[in-house]
Amino acid sequence: MTDLSNLLAATTLGAVPLRSRVVMAPMTRSRATADNRPTELTATYYAQRAGAGLIIAEATAVSPQGVGYPNIPGLWRDDQVEGWRTVVDAVHAAGGRIAAQLFHVGRVSLPAYQPDGALPVAPSAIAPAGVTLYAPDFSQHAAPVPQPLDEAGIARVVADFAAAATRARAAGFDAVEIHGASGYLLDQFLRDGSNARTDRFGGTVERRARLLLDVTEAVARAIGADRTGVRLSPENPFNDMRDGDPRTTFSTAAALLRDFELAWLHVVRGPTASVVEAIREAYRSPLLLNGGFTAESAERAIRDDLARAVSFGTPFIANPDLVERFAQGAPLAAADPATFYGGDARGYTDYPTLALAGA
């Protein structure tokens, strides 16, 4: 059996102790209520996966303006805090650790989600080409041209992230991850393909990174840098994202983030190895890597000091006991993509563990 002693070893990310370096990556599952509250089923789902060294929960909107998908959770109201407390308590009771991932979708939204039916917001009036979005009733629509945020709107976004982080800690989350990836608002500001501004939030990499840095500073001040992580995806084209020089853009952003002494920087690797290498050199540690890893390649990444830990997404959907399967060298079950988003317990909480599968 393959030696996975590094992957399965305990570690810490900031103030958060991990029983192993196998992290559950955040994955939208669209099982919250229509008014953006997690449910008892959500609690069951995450508690089943509490064997992960750390769970990073699904992307959670920091405000009504930040919503762009049906049935996703939020953290701007007291009842949402209570809903998440049920989830966190269930994970802690099962011996796990869990972080909230906070995001604002920016231009990847529809007026149907926005307060007063307004246009979604973005750094610039550039629509994501070819992107189809789901309305609250799951009908499909082309993404509209967004309205650029003014500085007052930007300040509100920063305040919304800090307030949501405070609510996350009130709900009992062990940490918070700031979602700066996947073509959402902070990523839209950072990349030159979606940011055409000429003010202090546009132009140079340092200026395009300003919103990410302002949000990170506000969240770290609210809950502590040692309980704050950031996620980046330098080469992910999802949501029509482009950048003329991702190596320079993201290594510069990583160097600027290093000064915060965060709990982790979570990087989704792409096809160009030099991009992640440049980020690692700029940020150093602790780095959390994601992107098509197997147990064996994750072990090598940790052994070779490329990452402190590795996150897995889809494998955790069909394998709630993924860490145990890795430890035993057991085969992995395959997930059903038809049940990834929306629906009920089917394809969500009904995947058996090894013990149940063999019963």
> What does DSSP assign to residue 112?
T
The secondary structure of residue 231, as a DSSP letter, is: E
How far apart are the C-alpha atoms of 254 and 232, rounded to whole Å? 9
Please say if the pLDDT value at position 357 is more than 90: no
Which pLDDT score, from 0 to 100, does residue 358 have?
A: 61
Helices (H) and strands (E) in the chain, counts: 12, 14
C-alpha angle with apex 114: 239 to 223, nearest 5 degrees? Answer: 80
pLDDT classification of 1: cutoffs 50, 70, 90? low
Half-sphere exposure of 75 (CA within 13 A, CB side): 31
Q: Which of 134, 184, 283, 341 is catalytic?
A: 184
| Residue 182 · residue 236 · CB < 8 Å | yes
Cα–Cα distances (Å) from 160 to 170, 208, 271, in that order, read: 15, 19, 34
Cα gap 137→69, rounded to integer Å: 10
Q: Is 184 a catalytic residue?
A: yes
Confidence of residue 194 (pLDDT cuts 50, 70, 90): very high
pLDDT tens digits, one per residue of 248-303: 999 999 999 999 999 999 999 999 999 999 999 999 889 999 999 999 999 999 99
pLDDT digits (tens, 9 = 90+) for 227-239: 999 999 999 999 9
Which amino acid would we find at residue 209? A
Sequence-distant (≥ 6) Cβ neighbours of residue 350 within 8 angstroms = none
| In the predicted structure, residue 359 carries a pLDDT above the cut 80 | no
Q: What is the pLDDT of residues 215-226, one digit of tens each?
A: 999 999 999 999
Q: What's the whole-number average pLDDT of the chain? A: 97
Helix (H, G, I), strand (E, B), or coil: what is residue 57? strand
Q: What is the pLDDT of residues 82-113, one digit of tens each?
A: 999 999 999 999 999 999 999 999 999 999 99
Per-residue pLDDT tens digits for 21-59? 999 999 999 999 999 999 999 999 999 999 999 999 999
133-165: per-residue pLDDT in tens? 999 999 999 999 999 999 999 999 999 999 999
2: pLDDT strictly greater than 90: no
38: three-class secondary structure by DSSP:
coil
pLDDT in tens, 292-330: 999 999 999 999 999 999 999 999 999 999 999 999 999
Residue 172: is its pLDDT beyond 50?
yes
CA dihedral 212→178→75→66, nearest 10 degrees, is: 50
Res 285: pLDDT:
85
